[in-house]
Amino acid sequence: MTGIHLDLDWRTSIVSVLLLPMFIGLGLWQLQRADEKAVINTKWELKRNQSPVSLLSVDSANAELLQYLPVQLSGHFLSAKYFLLDNKIHRGQFGNEVLAVFKLKDSGKAVLVNRGWNVADPSRRQEPVIPELNGPVMITGHVYVSPGEPYLLADTALVPGWPKPIQAIEMDKLGAAVEQDMGVELFPHPVRIDSDSAAALTVDWQVVNVSPEKHTGYAVQWFTMAAALFILFILRSTNLWQVLTGGSRTQ
């Protein structure tokens, strides 16, 4: 039986050297992302069944504790004082997420309550109509801690007056605006309102934008491409196929 010998094809070798590590790296990265999303889902499931606590009773500096923490807020919304998070699409329709300034009862503090999605004019020529809720109210929701700094193409200043359109939730900037205009300290993280709470708009909170299962599926695709490339490299660079089939290699 003829032995297996190496006869490198330079074109296949170059393609394999360049692409094989990339395919494997992308597959490993997708597996890492799947693990991260699984951890997020686990935290969410653990927190969502807890009884809501008063926001004034929690440590605002402990981001790990705060993430997805169910909270109860008592106070009132400041009239027409809200930020409009731009470019939010819901079921194919353009709109904004409405982050309203909520003054906590018996406190000199406020919190941004994300009331959910509201339809808006895609041309931005007309201001959106946002239902107001006046007077004292008690609402529930969960604290949302951003996983990192928002990606912005350029730094944008807040416009004078209210409402204020924003491209991302930059809490330092928003907190400074609220303190300057209203003289109240803003809680460092927004609260996403529960769908059954008063003042809730269209609420459909997504804990993760891509499920762990999808990331795993993407990883399988990358590893499959790596395996196919490796097999091609072996078949083009050795006489393995001829040995297995008993044929002769054609150049």
pLDDT of residue 64 exceeding 90:
no
Residue 198 lies in a domain: no
pLDDT of residue 38 exceeding 80:
yes
**Is 30 in the same domain as 132?**
no
Asked if residue 14 lies in contact with residue 246, where contact means CB atoms within 8 angstroms, the answer is: no
Q: Which two tokens stand for residue 67?
A: 């993430």
> For 109-137, what is the mean pLDDT?
90
**Which range is most confident: 51-55, 111-115, 203-207?**
111-115
Q: What angle (nearest 5°) sits at the alpha carbon of residue 64, between those of residues 63 and 67?
A: 75
Residue 251 confidence (pLDDT):
46
Question: Is the peptide bond between 122 and the residue preceding it cis, with omega within 30 degrees of 0?
Answer: no
**Is 7 in the same domain as 44?**
yes
Residue 131 lies in a domain: yes
Q: Name the residue with tokens 């393609």.
A: 15
> For 154-183, what is the mean pLDDT?
87
pLDDT of residue 208 exceeding 90:
no
Q: What single-letter DSSP state applies at residue 68? A: T
**Is 76 in the same domain as 142?**
yes
Residue 135 lies in a domain: yes
Residue 167 lies in a domain: yes
**Is 213 in the same domain as 189?**
no
Q: What single-letter DSSP state applies at residue 150? A: P
**Is 87 in the same domain as 173?**
yes
> For 138-152, what is the mean pLDDT?
82
> For 132-142, what is the mean pLDDT?
92
Q: Name the residue with tokens 């008592």.
A: 74
Residue 248 confidence (pLDDT):
52
> For 4-33, what is the mean pLDDT?
87
Range of the domain at 112: 69-193
Q: What single-letter DSSP state applies at residue 51? A: P
pLDDT of residue 2 exceeding 70:
no
**Is 183 in the same domain as 95?**
yes
**Is 101 in the same domain as 183?**
yes
Residue 222 confidence (pLDDT):
96
Helix axes 10-48, 212-237, angle to 10 degrees: 160
β-sheet bridge partners, residue 138 = 74
Of 240, 251, 229, 243, nearest to 18 by C-alpha is: 229
Dihedral, 172, 178, 183, 186 alpha carbons, nearest 10:
-50
Residue 63 lies in a domain: no
Coil, strand or helix: which one is 94?
strand
Residue 58 lies in a domain: no
Asked if residue 66 lies in contact with residue 52, where contact means CB atoms within 8 angstroms, the answer is: no
CA distance 231 to 236: 9
Residue 31 lies in a domain: yes
> For 175-179, what is the mean pLDDT?
92
Domain count, the chain: 2
**Is 158 in the same domain as 232?**
no
DSSP strands (E only) in 144-194: 164-166, 185-186, 191-193
Chain CA centroid to CA 25, Å: 22
**Is 79 in the same domain as 20?**
no
**Is 177 in the same domain as 89?**
yes
Residue 109 lies in a domain: yes
Q: What single-letter DSSP state applies at residue 168? A: S
Q: What pTM value is reported for the model? A: 0.76
**Is 43 in the same domain as 149?**
no
> For 219-245, what is the mean pLDDT?
84
**Is 114 in the same domain as 90?**
yes
